[in-house]
Amino acid sequence: MRVLITLLLCLGLSSCESGVTPIPSAHKTGELVVVTRNGPTTYYEDAQGQYVGLEHDLVMLFAKELGFTVKFVVAGQFHEILPKVISRQAHFAAAGITITDERKQRLLFSTAYQTVQQQLVYQTDQTKPASFQDILGKRLEVVAGTSYVERLNQVKRQFPAFTWVEVQNQETEELLGRLAEGKVDYVIADSHIVKLSQNFHPELAVGFDVGRPEYLAWAFPKDGDDWLYKKSLQFFAKIQADGTLKRLQDRYYGHIERLEQADVIGFLTKMNTVLPKYRDLFYEAQDITGIDWRLLAALGYQESKWDPLATSPTNVRGIMMLTEDAADEMGVTDRLDPKQSIISGAKYFLNQKEALPPRIAEPDRTWFALAAYNVGPGHLEDARVLAQRQGLNPDAWPDLKKSLPLLSKTAYHSTLKHGYARGGEPVIFTENIRTYYDILVKFEPPYRPLFAPFAQGNRAEKQQKLKATKS
């Protein structure tokens, strides 16, 4: 009888792994088993070798709330994710899963945490399509097992001759890369994935939206742990109410729409033509400071477009656009010398970072330091004071982005220690660097020195090394 019931359940759910025993309840083991997938919108290893991603961070917060540990199971292909949940080989899926009517018949969904829009993407060398009728007979690729397929099945009822290709061994980001290379005519992707990809492939554009907006959520088995499911609803209610969800979304998506297509094209061009001249100097700067050379290069590009002779009307000069005071502080004799500029700019940036209160955590700490590099530590501290007055978190970059622009308004800066500042500029400055850094991380390999004098050691040791390298 037990075997018969199991078979009936498998047939009813349309997916079951033969002979597989469901994992124990998380409530009993104290461990969450979560199926996810590799990708910039879900779960991935960053430039520092740490696992990050919106789904990763949400799951880790949820586990912390419960006092549980986490085991991530990374699915090799998207279509493997939901069967693992249905057969209870994972407690839930946190993988950018779209809520659809078909999936709701087999799964329970948490509170939605993000709205997305399916979009048909094309290469700008081609004519912009206005509807599915315009792409009949062309090669359209989508990832197998996704909600894109469900939507396309609806389109096929209207256009019986309409066809597409379902790809099993690649993610949507990879299909968009194939589209940029001209290997496919069209791809359907969610709007947040499209925006991220356009920063790497500026030749991609949106032809039209496909259907209505949809919602992303965690997927739970219908016959799973009801206690855990209810805890997830409480968790999302809490992080929506206290602003945590919004801050996490800003961490991963808050900067991706800052640059225009021309900005990205210009950056990619100079990445291949100008950056090679200075790459070794950025490597050396990483040796001295321990800061990823690609972040320093992104900072240099934002400041000067890697022009060693750049000079502003206020006499800020060089690749890293050092002021006279900053140059004097760092012992620079010639701000137009690329080596002195890059090395000293990197050390000056490190000084800004180390001067911040220890409680400011990464990655916000890096964004704060970039803002301080631009507007000065005094004005940055004023913005933190202002954020606190407004009931915001003075240690969170998404909240500081709201208070910094207010430094240009008399009603606010007149009450602060350092007075007026063009507070909107450090926000744009920092957000642009974040995007340039993302691009460099994608296309440029990390620098792995055999000996990194700044890779280890305490603050005093680091300061001593800085003094030793001021020449």
> Which residues are the active-site residues?
303
Closest to 114 measured CA to CA, from 208, 217, 232: 217
Q: Are 79 and 171 in contact (CB under 8 A)?
A: no
Sorted by sequence, the CB contacts under 8 Å of residue 219 that are 6+ apart come out as 81, 82, 85, 92, 93, 97, 103, 107, 108, 109, 110
Phi, psi of 101 (to 5 degrees): -60, -40
Q: Are 217 and 99 in contact (CB under 8 A)?
A: yes
What's the angle, vertex CA 442, arms to CA 438 and CA 444, rounded to 5?
A: 105
Spatial CA neighbour of 454 closest among 440, 441, 469: 469
Among residues 262, 19, 215, 263, which one has the least CA distance to residue 116?
215
The number of residues making up the chain comes to 471
